[in-house]
Structure 1
């Protein structure tokens, strides 16, 4: 239940944004920032490739938004794989139909953000279409035999009463994982029209759903930032989970992921702690990657400058 890992002395995971554009306007998006740069510079990509890491996750803003981003992603993914590392992408899925076999061969897994089901998806993700997304996912799964696809649900005030509908995505394909995460309040340059929920009430609501309990791929992810916003200690949450017999479906990360070897690198070359990455208004407090020879050096500096 609790993800306990020792303090690491090496960089393991780079979460990377490759652009600052998206083809949707979701009510809970945290990646709303003011930045004159649109696409990642090759100098930043090269510094990432010159670094020692285990995995790089392309987390934004939308890696499949257009042909330029897709071509950039393909080139980068090939280089990552040539180093013997792994790579994944998070996408809203609107342009999944533009993915070809060559890109699939070089992506270890794909995370697709849903946040709604067949009845509510189009309302939550205005500008996208559930039936098209369904067809595109099935194309990858059945036509290309690509089975490394995960589904993501962020739970907030607009979809907490729609858990049954959120579970309807199981009709699309047998996703590898269906990951639920509580919505976090962030400091960004846009407007979020959803609200954070009481964490204990969210957990109880989720665990009252029969499908969530029965389908083995479902999991709820709770990290230290969720606990802080809920004003709960790790011990409080563990007691609550154990007293209600919820432990088999929840993973709790009880440490700041910076100290687990995680860093964010933005498309404009800022290196951020996981905490900073959630709040675009604080991106200026990060470090400039151009001042370091690789991401390993800047990660060590962030660890050094942070207070445990």
Structure 2
């Protein structure tokens, strides 16, 4: 085999905490099965369990924790959890739809990833809540004000590119780049190809890979240049050689370790549960074997592809 994975290449610096599975929006492309399990979401035992696992991650020399859901801002003790994580020396990363006011928790974040799918019309088209766009803009203004005071916070916009908004992406961001608050707040925009699972199938938002690939990479380059390189626009696509040149740093990004408190499970691939959260103490060979399995799965499926989406390939059996 041309490419080889060595065990000493595996360095787990970040874990992703799924702290709930409820959401206040219904995005047409969502790949997550959200629910109305407010009993789980409001459970103090879960809060204490998350805190305990933060201590376990400290013992395992993890440096960063990404908090997601569902929608993590609906978790009643999110600010408490973030403070606790920060107290233990972690870099805190939050993925959110930014519907709720984030001002209170900004001091406990090192990075925040907000969902914004272009202009107001494009963004609203992909979700059922007409207020969502204005709420995101509100929070971007708050982040801009926060950073103007000298506070450090990385702000990343995640735009999911679907068949509905593909043609609107470039014009949407040209408009946003003319806004001072946007340029002050945002460090990076990630143009992510829509997933091929979940609600997207019902709403027919899928993209033909060939339609998306080079087109969206060209847009990313043009928008980065338009921002005078102040905001980096990137995609979740790799040229084959580029992927392996960046290996293994890109490797850890592609295959993060998920700590799913809604399922009491730890996994790299959701189809392959590695550990239960209860009783977990430290990483062992099982985590390496799971990384290796997915890695070879990727290798097997990219030999004839110039540009590829690793997330999509991970779903190939």
CA distance in 1, matches of 2:261, 2:122: 32
Does the Cα contact within 8 Å between 1:56 and 1:87 map onto a contact in 2?
yes
Task: Give the corresponding residue for 2:52.
Answer: 46
Give per-residue Cα distances to partners, 1:49-101, cap 9 Å, x unaligned: 31231111112211113xxx1x4211111121122110110111111x2531x
Does the Cα contact within 8 Å between 1:111 and 1:151 map onto a contact in 2?
yes
CA distance in 2, matches of 1:123, 1:132: 15
Give the CA deviation at 1:184.
Answer: 2.4
1:89 equivalenced with 2:94 (yes/no): yes
Instruction: Give the TM-score of the pair, scaled to structure 2.
Output: 0.70
Does the Cα contact within 8 Å between 2:223 and 2:233 map onto a contact in 1?
no
Task: Give the corresponding residue for 1:270.
Answer: 265
Structure 1 range deviating more: 38-47 or 170-179: 38-47
Give the CA deviation at 1:120.
Answer: 1.6
Does the Cα contact within 8 Å between 1:109 and 1:150 map onto a contact in 2?
yes
1:138 equivalenced with 2:132 (yes/no): no
Q: Which runs of 5+ in 2 are unaligned?
A: 297-317
Task: Give the corresponding residue for 1:242.
Answer: none
Does the Cα contact within 8 Å between 1:20 and 1:60 map onto a contact in 2?
yes
1:64 match: secondary structure = helix
Task: Give the corresponding residue for 2:24.
Answer: 23
Does the Cα contact within 8 Å between 2:23 and 2:35 map onto a contact in 1?
no
Does the Cα contact within 8 Å between 1:264 and 1:272 map onto a contact in 2?
yes
Q: In the comparison of the two structures, how many residue pairs are matched? A: 266
CA distance in 1, matches of 2:156, 2:218: 20
Of residues 211, 219, 222, the one that matches 2:223 is 211
Give the CA deviation at 1:13.
Answer: 0.9
Does the Cα contact within 8 Å between 1:116 and 1:159 map onto a contact in 2?
yes
Instruction: Give the TM-score of the pair, scaled to structure 1.
Output: 0.72
2:191 match: secondary structure = strand
Change (3 A) 1:291 1:64: closer
Change (3 A) 1:199 1:222: farther
Across the aligned residues of Structure 1 and Structure 2, the Cα RMSD in angstroms comes to: 3.5
Of residues 76, 80, 84, the one that matches 1:79 is 84
CA distance in 1, matches of 2:40, 2:30: 17
Does the Cα contact within 8 Å between 2:29 and 2:126 map onto a contact in 1?
no
Of residues 72, 77, 101, the one that matches 1:63 is 72
Structure 1 range deviating more: 181-190 or 81-90: 181-190
Give per-residue Cα distances to partners, 1:158-209, cap 9 Å, x unaligned: 1111123431333242111111122221368984541033256433245257
Of residues 143, 153, 156, the one that matches 1:150 is 156
1:138 match: secondary structure = helix
Give the CA deviation at 1:271.
Answer: 0.9
Give the CA deviation at 1:214.
Answer: 2.0
Structure 1 range deviating more: 16-25 or 27-36: 27-36
CA distance in 1, matches of 2:32, 2:52: 23
Q: Which runs of 5+ in 1 are unaligned?
A: 228-232, 239-250, 277-281
1:297 equivalenced with 2:283 (yes/no): yes
Q: Which residues of 2 match residues 273-284 of structure 1 at below 5 A?
A: 273=268, 275-276=269-270, 282=271
CA distance in 1, matches of 2:255, 2:219: 35
Task: Give the corresponding residue for 2:236.
Answer: 222
Change (3 A) 1:63 1:211: same
1:185 equivalenced with 2:196 (yes/no): yes
